Structures are given as C-alpha cells and as structure tokens.
Amino acid sequence: MLTFSRRSGARLFAALGVLGIAAWGQERKQDASTFLRPLDQSVLEVGPVSVIVRASNKGKLSLDGKPVDLKQSAGGVYTATVNSSGGLHELSWIDAAGEQKIRFFLRTEANVAGVPAGWKVFKPHPPSVECGICHSEKQGEWSFKTRSYSETCFTCHEQKSFVQGHAHNDEVLADCVLCHNPHGSTEEFHLKMPRETACKQCHG
Ligand code: HEC
Ligand code: HEC
Ligand code: HEC
Ligand code: HEC
C-alpha cells in the first residue's frame, strides 16, 4: 500500500518467459495514463495550475494544442505548471497507450457567468505544490516519506480536532485516502466523492 512500484507488472513479465517481451509491450500499452490534478470539468482561479500525470509510458503534454514543458520524477510521475488566461482550456496527454484529455475552466471576476453548467470548483490540496512534503523518490521509485498516510497528514493537521470530525475507530480511519483526495478535490473537505457515496463504501 505504501509504495507505487510496478512490481506486479515485473513479476508477470518474469512469469511469461519467452512470450514476455510481446506481452510486456501490450501490458504497458494498455496501462492508460491518469490526470491526478486538476480534475476533468473543474473550475480553478486564474493563476498557475499544477498538473500531475501518472503514466507508464513517456508521453507529451499539451495545453490547448501547444506543447508544455514537462518534469519527470521517479516511477512514471510527470508534473508541469501551466499558465493561461481566463476561460475554457484543454489538457491532453498522448503516449503509446493513447490519449487522455481533461477540460478545465479558469475563472475571473469577468467570466464567472461562462462557467459550464454542472462544473465544480477544484481546490488543490495542500495549497502549496511541494510533492516532497508527502512523497520521496528513492532509487527511482515514487513512494512515501512516512510508513502510513496518517503520519504524513498529522504533520499539518491536528489529531485532536480530527477525532472530533470523524466518528470511527482508528482502524477504519487509517486509510485517509479512502475518503479524501490528497491532491485536491471538487468536493467539500477534499472528499474524493460526494459524502453519501463515501459512506456507502461500507454502509450499504
Ligand atoms: C498532502 C500529501 C501529498 C502531497 C503534497 C502530494 N501527494 Fe501525491 N499522494 C498522496 C497520497 C496520500 C497518495 C495516495 C493516494 C491513494 O492511494 O489514493 C498519493 C498518491 C500519488 C500518486 C500515485 C497515484 C496512483 O494512483 O498511482 C502520484 C503519482 C502522486 N501522488 C504524485 C504527486 C505529485 C507529483 C505531487 C506534487 C505535485 C504530490 N503527489 C503531492 C499525498 C500527497
Ligand atoms: C503540508 C501541510 C499539509 C499536509 C501534509 C496535509 N494537509 Fe490537509 N490541509 C492543509 C492545509 C493548509 C489545508 C487548508 C487549506 C485547504 O483547504 O486546502 C488543508 C485542508 C485539508 C482538508 C479540508 C479541511 C476543511 O476544513 O475543508 C482535509 C480533509 C485535509 N486537508 C486532509 C488531509 C489528509 C488526508 C492529509 C494526508 C494525506 C493531509 N491533509 C495532509 C495542509 C496539509
Ligand atoms: C470514512 C471516510 C473518511 C476517512 C477514512 C477519513 N476521513 Fe477525514 N473527513 C471525512 C468527512 C466526511 C469529513 C467532513 C467532516 C464533517 O462532516 O464533520 C472529514 C474531514 C476531515 C478534515 C477537516 C475537518 C477536521 O476534522 O479537521 C480533515 C483535516 C481530515 N478529514 C483528515 C483526515 C485524515 C488525516 C484521515 C486519515 C487519518 C481521514 N481524514 C480519514 C471522511 C473521512
Ligand atoms: C471503511 C469503511 C467505512 C466507511 C467508508 C464509513 N464507515 Fe461508518 N463505520 C464503519 C465501521 C467498521 C463501523 C463500526 C466500528 C466503528 O464505530 O468504528 C462504523 C460505524 C459508524 C457509525 C456508528 C454507528 C453504528 O452504526 O455503529 C456511524 C454513525 C457511521 N459509521 C457513519 C459513517 C458515515 C457518516 C460515513 C461517511 C462519512 C461512514 N460511516 C463511512 C466503517 C465505515
């Protein structure tokens, strides 16, 4: 749970033996990329937008069709900061697995009325974008600084006020990311999904 290695993929590769090379190529191709931030159909304030892409193949990022400078850190993690004017924008990631696109809207006082219906405001979390606060890069692997998520979270959040807001025992709550999105969210309290859906994961 604590690291993001692709070890299972490597094991599959070893097990497949002679057929491995073809299968490996295919497996990597099928591994579609994901935009971790920002989220599709979200609204952000005009200003620098921090982008995180998780991809198993090297690829190209573009904003409204124009290439964007990309930073690669360990283990298939790509980041960029994009700047643009108010209005609707499209980010695209293209690699061997295909293309992923997300759209977002940069809001200004003047264009608020143009926000597409149903789109929600995306709040990045934490407000500063330093990945190293929570992650580390060891031997080319993208991983975590601490043994558990909660250890990381409680470097900034008070455990005391946390207990008041959460009605469960520690065991249920340990996996913070079951309910929260650590990179930001369009929901209240940085929830990963609407509150009722979060509860329904366990309470049918
Ligand atoms: C507040 C702590 C925190 C910060 C800051 C943070 N992350 Fe994360 N990140 C997490 C947690 C917790 C997870 C585990 C999420 C899960 O399992 O749902 C995670 C997961 C990830 C993953 C793996 C996701 C996957 O599904 O494979 C990537 C990649 C990642 N973060 C990249 C970044 C990058 C790049 C930055 C900086 C721009 C960053 N993170 C900043 C806490 C953080
Ligand atoms: C580097 C400091 C830092 C770390 C580490 C951190 N947070 Fe935060 N978090 C903040 C700040 C600052 C805010 C308030 C601003 C905001 O809402 O984005 C916040 C807000 C939140 C909120 C919303 C609070 C509200 O009242 O709306 C939640 C939920 C949250 N964090 C969960 C987490 C979880 C889960 C982790 C661990 C994966 C974590 N945080 C790690 C700094 C941090
Ligand atoms: C079962 C889902 C769930 C899990 C697991 C969970 N949270 Fe929350 N969290 C919530 C909900 C729902 C709220 C909104 C609280 C409210 O409605 O009073 C919240 C609110 C928060 C807040 C803001 C308010 C406060 O109490 O300070 C922080 C910070 C936070 N969570 C951090 C964490 C951390 C850190 C973990 C892991 C140790 C965690 N959460 C695990 C559901 C969860
Ligand atoms: C990871 C699974 C999980 C999730 C997600 C979850 N719960 Fe629970 N919940 C439990 C378990 C297990 C118990 C019994 C043990 C305890 O109290 O911690 C419980 C107990 C409760 C109780 C105490 C009353 C009772 O039935 O025993 C309430 C109230 C509750 N949950 C509300 C919520 C709400 C509201 C959410 C969404 C924010 C939520 N739960 C999300 C697992 C979960």
Q: What is the pLDDT of residues 19-40, one digit of tens each?
A: 333 344 444 445 789 999 999 9
* Cα(103) to centroid(ligand 1), Å: 21
Q: Give Cα 30 to chain centroid, integer Å.
A: 19
Q: What is the pLDDT of residue 152?
A: 87
Average pLDDT across the chain, whole number = 84
- Determine the atom of ligand 1 nearest the C-alpha atom of 37: 38
What does the block give as tokens for 65?
Answer: 């069709």
Complete domains list, the chain, with CATH: 33-123 (2.60.40.10), 146-204 (no CATH)
Query: Which residue among 135, 151, 190 has the greatest number of ligand 2 atoms within 8 angstroms of its CB, and so is best to mutate?
Result: 190
The CA–CA distances, whole Å, from 5 to 11, 20, 115, 163 equal 11, 19, 39, 32
- Strand duo 120-121 + 42-45: pairing: parallel
- Closest atom of ligand 3 to 158 CA is 27
Q: Residue 143: what pLDDT?
A: 83
Specify the residue with its C-alpha closest to ligand 2, atom 26: 189
**Which residues line ligand 3 at a C-beta cut-off of 6 Å?**
150, 153, 157, 161-162, 165-166, 173, 175-176, 178-180, 189, 195, 198
Rounded to 5°, angle at Cα 67 from 137 and 40: 70
Count the Cβ atoms, other than its own, within 10 Å of residue 185: 22
Tens digit of each residue's pLDDT (9 = 90 or more) over 69-97: 999 888 889 999 999 999 999 999 999 99
Is the CB of residue 54 less than 8 Å from the CB of residue 33? yes
Residue 97, token pair as written in the block? 């697995």
pLDDT at 13 over 70: no
* Residue of 149, 166, 170 with the most ligand 3 atoms within 8 Å of its CB, for mutation: 166
| Predicted confidence (pLDDT) per residue in 125-141, tens digit | 987 778 888 888 777 77
Place of tokens 């497949």: 16
> 165: Cβ below 6 Å to ligand 4?
no
pLDDT (mean) for 148-171: 86
Instruction: Measure the CA–CA gap between 113 and 17, rounded to whole angstroms.
Output: 58
> Higher-confidence residue: 14 or 183?
183
| 1-5, 70-74, 193-197: least confident range | 1-5
203 lines ligand 4 (CB under 6 A): yes
Cα separation, 61 vs 67, in Å, equals: 6
Pocket lined around ligand 1, Cβ cut-off 6 Å: 4, 36, 50, 52, 54, 77, 79, 126, 129, 131, 133-135, 142, 149, 152, 177, 182-183
Q: Residue range 101-129: average pLDDT?
A: 94
